[in-house]
């Protein structure tokens, strides 16, 4: 049976509405409207509420894809960068720097909140004195910082140098240090780590549907994921580990991830959580934002 995960109440974030292929969100003091291809229903708020957004993302003319470029239309007092707080029971206290990118993103995926809490708690639960955690496709580092805040020796890998700089800003804003930063192709790195016999007590994967490594290496989710999961299995400490994989790709069923994980990892199905991750808006609609699987020894 599949599980459904959603973000617990968080003062500096709220999904206010979604519909007509858009979502309306509050990040700290600012309200943003931006595209969301899975919100095919009608919004529950009137158009007047959407028009009050501090920033609205508009795709470039002729663009229909969620990944295409566009531009933000800003109200006069809208900042281009700002900080928000992220505080959770048990001592997970972080800060994130947000910004308005030309691809509609702001540097944070709030739906990952339940996974950040899982990473923090499972890092603390490891029997190893200082767990080693590898975060692949690590973006601006929220998962990295959750593991580091729990005391892990963390390796953060992303193929985009500017994204790693952004993650460093988040680390410094959160008053943390000691993360190992790598600008690498994820597949090449894990192949080398397997050959070296490296082991990790935590492994986090959040791969895109499509991407490029720093030297033009191609990543296509359906072509590469099977091998990536097999290599990940070899990198995990067999006696003391946790594992998280999250996929956001339209049409990529949780059944596919279920089949892959069942065939590759020896963990009993009863010990795994697998299913969909979503955000709940103020009108009680569930906005699906990917599939996930996670487990721990």
CA quadruple 220, 223, 226, 232: dihedral, nearest 10: -40
23-50 per-position pLDDT tens digit = 999 999 999 999 999 999 999 999 999 9
**276, burial (CB in 10 Å: exposed 0-12, middle 13-18, buried 19+):** middle
Model pLDDT for residues 216-248, shown as the tens digit of each residue: 888 899 999 999 999 999 999 999 999 999 998
Percent of the chain exceeding pLDDT 90 equals: 85
- The confidence band for 103, taking pLDDT boundaries of 50, 70 and 90, is confident
Which domains occur in the chain, in start order?
Answer: 8-81 (2.60.40.1180), 104-296 (3.40.50.150)
Could you tell me where the beta strands, DSSP code E, fall in the chain? 3-6, 13-19, 22-27, 30-35, 55-59, 70-74, 81-88, 92-99, 132-136, 153-158, 180-183, 202-205, 210-212, 218-220, 242-247, 273-280, 286-296
Cβ(151)–Cβ(129) under 8 Å?
A: no
Could you report the per-residue pLDDT of 137-172, keeping only the tens digit for each? 999 999 999 999 999 999 999 999 999 999 999 999
Q: What is the mean pLDDT of residues 193-215?
A: 94
- CA 52, CA 49: separation in Å to the nearest integer? 5
The span from the CA of 265 to the CA of 297, in Å, is: 12
Angle formed at CA 239 by CA 233 and CA 245, multiple of 5 degrees: 35
Residue 142 burial (CB < 10 Å; 0-12/13-18/19+)? buried
The whole-angstrom separation of Cα 5 and Cα 278 is: 6
pLDDT score of 64 more than 70: no
Q: What is the pTM of this model?
A: 0.95
67 pLDDT higher than 60: no
Span 123-133, pLDDT tens digits: 999 999 999 99
**Confidence at 66, pLDDT banded by 50, 70, 90:** very low
- Average pLDDT over the chain, rounded to whole? 94
Spatial CB neighbours of 128, under 8 Å, sequence gap ≥ 6: 201, 237, 240
């Amino acid at each position: 049976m599949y599980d459904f995960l959603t973000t617990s109440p968080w003062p500096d974030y709220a999904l206010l509405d979604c519909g007509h292929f858009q979502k309306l969100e509050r990040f700290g003091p600012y309200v943003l409207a931006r595209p969301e291809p899975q919100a095919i229903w009608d919004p529950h708020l009137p158009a007047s509420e959407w028009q009050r957004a501090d920033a609205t993302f508009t795709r470039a003319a002729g663009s229909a894809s969620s990944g295409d470029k566009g531009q933000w239309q800003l109200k006069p007092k809208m900042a281009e960068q700002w900080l928000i707080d992220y505080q959770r029971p048990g001592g997970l206290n972080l800060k994130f720097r947000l910004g308005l990118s030309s691809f509609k993103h702001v540097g944070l995926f709030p739906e990952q909140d339940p996974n950040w809490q899982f990473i923090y708690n499972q890092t603390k639960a490891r029997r190893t004195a200082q767990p080693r955690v590898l975060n692949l496709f690590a973006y601006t580092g929220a998962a990295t910082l959750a593991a580091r805040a729990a005391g892990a020796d963390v390796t953060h890998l992303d193929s985009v140098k500017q994204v790693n700089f952004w993650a460093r800003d988040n680390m410094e804003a959160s008053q943390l240090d000691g993360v190992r930063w790598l600008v690498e192709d994820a597949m090449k790195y894990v192949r080398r780590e397997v050959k070296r016999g490296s082991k990790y007590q935590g492994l986090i994967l959040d791969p895109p549907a499509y991407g490029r490594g720093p030297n033009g290496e191609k990543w296509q989710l359906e072509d590469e994921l099977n091998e990536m999961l097999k290599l990940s299995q070899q990198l995990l400490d067999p006696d003391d580990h946790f594992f998280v994989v999250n996929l956001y790709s339209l049409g990529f069923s949780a059944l596919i991830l279920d089949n892959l994980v069942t065939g590759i990892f020896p963990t009993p199905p009863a010990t795994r959580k697998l299913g969909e991750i979503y955000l709940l808006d103020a009108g009680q609609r569930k906005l699906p934002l990917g599939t996930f699987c996670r487990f721990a020894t």
